[in-house]
Amino acid sequence: MNSLYSLTLLFHSTVRYFVLIAMLVTIYRSIIALVQGKSFGPLDEKLSVWLLIMAHTQLILGLVLYGISPAVIFSAASMKDPGTRYWLVEHITTMIIAVILITLSRVTTKNLTDDAKKHRRVLIYNVLAGLLILMAIQMSGRGFLGLPI
Ligand code: HEM
């Protein structure tokens, strides 16, 4: 296995945990804030920027992997086999939609002044993105936990 591939896969596999943890904390904080009527504070701001950075890092690593991974096979036959179709089409499509949702959760709430509205929107976008990511990881058959080493 070439080292650029192994290294990129290791990073991509690791950054998923940062994305998932930041997302879980974001979802937890939005629910608590909505129930207790809390404002959208500096920590919420930091968390949403951190999640955005992690998701975009994951997107860039994923795009590199898409070009060099032996799991991505560009051929018509790949579409007939669920294993190869997953890496060629399903993973990239689902994950790009999830990254778009995470991006929307940041950009569409940045200038909102109503804190409850802000938390609600952040919650909805992140729950949807989280469900897509978990579904995609489940479909990969690689399991939720682990690293390629
Ligand atoms: C939040 C977004 C993403 C998450 C959470 C995620 C998660 C994962 C996970 C868990 C793996 C398996 C790693 C392993 O076996 O150790 C993986 C592999 C991979 N991902 Fe992603 N991914 C994301 C976005 C993307 C995007 C946007 C692309 C393509 C543009 C992409 C392309 C790939 C490829 C090509 C592989 C490698 C298959 C291989 O060579 O074994 N990923 N991803």
Residue 142 Cα: closest atom of ligand 1: 15
Express each pLDDT in 85-140 by its tens digit. Answer: 999 999 999 999 999 999 999 999 999 999 999 999 999 999 999 999 999 999 99
Residue 36 Cα to ligand 1 midpoint, Å, equals 37
Cite the DSSP H helix spans in 1-149. 3-36, 42-68, 82-85, 91-107, 115-140
By alpha-carbon position, which residue is closest to atom 27 of ligand 1? 59
Predicted confidence at residue 147, as pLDDT, reads 79
Residue 25 Cα to ligand 1 midpoint, Å, equals 22
Specify burial of residue 1 (Cβ count, 10 A radius: 0-12, 13-18, 19+).
exposed
Residue 86 Cα to ligand 1 midpoint, Å, equals 11
Residue 129 Cα: closest atom of ligand 1: 1
Per-residue burial over 84-122, b if 16 or more Cβ lie within 10 Å, else e, is bebbbeebbebbeebbebbbbbbeebeeeeebeebbbbb
What CATH number labels 3-71+83-140? 1.20.120
By alpha-carbon position, which residue is closest to atom 31 of ligand 1? 62
Predicted confidence at residue 1, as pLDDT, reads 65
Predicted confidence at residue 145, as pLDDT, reads 83
Express each pLDDT in 36-76 by its tens digit. Answer: 999 999 999 999 999 999 999 999 999 999 999 999 999 99
User: Would you say the pTM of this structure is higher than 0.85?
Assistant: yes
Predicted confidence at residue 2, as pLDDT, reads 86
